[in-house]
Amino acid sequence: MKDFKNIGIVGAGSMGIGIAQIASTSGCKVFLYDQNVEIAQSSLNKLKKILERLIEKKRINSNKRDEILSNIKIVSSLNDLSVSNLIIEAIIENLNIKKDLFSKLETIVHKECIIASNTSSLSITNLASSLKNPSNFIGIHFFNPAPLMPLVEIIPALQTNINLLDSIRNLLLSWNKFPVIAKDTPGFIVNRIARPFYSEALRIYDEQIADFATIDFAMKEVGGFKMGPFELMDFIGNDVNYAVTESVFKSFYYDPKYKPSLTQKQYANAGWLGRKTNKGYYDYNSSSKNVPSKDVTLLNLIFERILVMLINDAVDAFYLGIASKEDIDLAITKGVNYPKGLIAWGEEKTFSWVEKKMDELYENYKEDRYRCSPLVRKWGNLIK
């Protein structure tokens, strides 16, 4: 296995410090750089508090805390990253600023050093093109909060030397993560195939079929999801969730499947962002309870419509070579905590059922959004 003793991290915001915690906990030396050294220092102070809490909860002892902290060194110049075997970039989500950073880094590091981006929405292939030797460049996409979220997507660029995949996979396994490999396409795996959970829920609301509380209740009660779509959007933030949907929609050349919701845009524009503003789809200052409908037919209809859209998109992602079946299901159970993998769920419900439900939706709306994946049809026909 390649030696990953020294890890450079650029950008010490919420993702950078989280990744620093993971690497240092596993015994790597971390060199943490931020253009604003005060941010790096304040992130490190936050990490110290997190470690104190972990001690209180008896998850680590004080020796482990000391070891973790002694493994992290804040550095004040990019040149100090020259000893790195791997550099993970977690700076602002801006293509040109990231590209500029990578071409600078390439002049600093030794030629075996792997340079990775934690971007959630930019093309890894496009970022790789900023390097003279892009074969050592790769996407390593952690989820927030990085120390707690088990999933990590590994995304090779077109230019990436594919031998890197195994070494990065093994490194992430040694960091106790669940790595999956994704093709460099918009949203990678999770941010692509989880979209219908939000967008179909919003569409059901827009069609006045049910209110937020009923849609959430259907997904939790019938589907076994831990959170309903509106609770989850309030948790993520309507601004953030809307921005991801819009970015995926634009990157797919306006495929109607990913069309953002005007309702969500209005909520974001109103500043009703969710929990962080105490108001989103729900009012977190109010003590009045939102009472969902208990109409079983309605609850089933809502659950099945959202589920079938999710399964259809997951199968389509496999059809289009975005990831293996196993990685698609791992991504969805470890990245967004769904009760079952979507392809496994499709097998359980049968793909002929998925096909029938998708065709019913298409017949009703005549919208491309509801097109059935050719692979769902093929798998559905196999067992008819």
* Binds ligand NAI by CB under 6 A, chosen from 61, 70, 77, 144: 144
141-145 contact pairs (CB < 8 A, 24+) = 141/182, 141/188, 142/15, 142/18, 142/19, 142/22, 142/118, 143/190, 143/335, 144/14, 144/15, 144/18, 145/14, 145/18
Contact 354, 376 (CB under 8 A): yes
Per CB under 6 A, the list member of 15, 51, 72, 331 interacting with ligand NAI is 15
Exactly one of 90, 128, 180, 202 binds ligand NAI (CB under 6 A); that residue is 90
Per the listing, tokens 């994946």 go with 373
Q: Tell me the residue nearest to ligand NAI as measured from the CB.
A: 13
360 is catalytic: no
- 364 belongs to the catalytic site: no
Q: Does 12 bind ligand NAI (CB under 6 A)?
A: yes
Q: Under a CB-based contact definition with an 8 Å cutoff, are residues 136 and 114 in contact?
A: yes
Q: Does 327 bind ligand NAI (CB under 6 A)?
A: no
Among 9, 10, 210, 322, which residue interacts with ligand NAI (rule: CB under 6 A)? 10
- The answer to whether 207 and 248 are in contact (CB under 8 A) is no
End-to-end CA distance of the chain: 47
Q: How many residues bind ligand NAI (CB under 6 A)?
A: 23
- Residue 42 engages ligand NAI in binding (rule: CB under 6 A): no
151 is a site residue for ligand NAI (CB under 6 A): no
> Which amino acid does the sequence have at 329?
D
91 binds ligand NAI (CB under 6 A): yes
Is 141 among the residues known to form the active site?
Answer: yes
- The verdict on 291 binding ligand NAI (CB under 6 A) reads no
Give per-residue burial for 149-177: e unless 16+ CB within 10 Å, then b: bebbbbbbbebbeeebbebbbebbeebeb
Which residue is catalytic, options 89, 106, 153, 200? 153
Q: In angstroms, what is the minimal distance from the CB of 152 to ligand NAI?
A: 10
Question: Rounded to an integer, what distance in angstroms lies between the CA atom of residue 305 and that of residue 27?
Answer: 46
The DSSP 8-state label assigned to residue 223 in this structure reads T
The residue from 6, 7, 11, 200 that contacts ligand NAI (CB under 6 A) is 11
Beta strands 29-33; 6-10: pairing state: parallel
241 annotated active-site:
no
The single residue of 24, 71, 120, 312 carrying the catalytic annotation is: 120
By the rule CB under 6 A, 47 interacts with ligand NAI: no
- Please report, as ranges, the residues that interact with ligand NAI according to CB under 6 A: 10-16, 34-36, 39, 90-93, 97, 101, 118-120, 142-144
* Residue numbers annotated as active site: 120, 141, 153, 191
